Amino acid sequence: AQRVTQPEKLLSVFKGAPVELKCNYSYSGSPELFWYVQYSRQRLQLLLRHISRESIKGFTADLNKGETSFHLKKPFAQEEDSAMYYCALTKAAGNKLTFGGGTRVLVKP
């Protein structure tokens, strides 16, 4: 069965510091991975997906199949990055998404 683990429930960093959200998955095939974000009083929304290989709002994520990880990184955190972040995995297009437990990021001024 596929599983997604986000080991940190809360990350607190100062503005301008780097931030890294860890995401580990268990799946033997070639998964598709996503990061979703929920800002305060907003709906959950897609942040980025690994097949796009793009940087969104300064965030990047690299799929490491050897370590089965998809960590989300930003070199200089901003206060507006404070939100709940969810890592998600699917084994194929159109298949169900499995989410991790989420990491709350708090960026302090």
Residue ranges that bind another protein, judged by CB under 8 A: 4, 6, 9, 32, 34, 36, 43-46, 49, 86, 88, 90, 93-102
CB of 46 to another protein, least distance (A): 6
- Distance, in Å, from the CA atom of 99 to the CA atom of 88, rounded to the nearest integer, reads 4
CB of 41 to another protein, least distance (A): 10
DSSP 31-54: -EEEEEEE-TTS--EEEEEGGG--
- Distance, in Å, from the CA atom of 94 to the CA atom of 46, rounded to the nearest integer, reads 16
Q: Which C-beta is closer to another protein: that of 15 or that of 68?
A: 68
Q: Which C-beta is closer to another protein: that of 15 or that of 56?
A: 56
CB of 22 to another protein, least distance (A): 14
Place of tokens 């991790």: 100
Q: Three-state DSSP class for 23?
A: coil
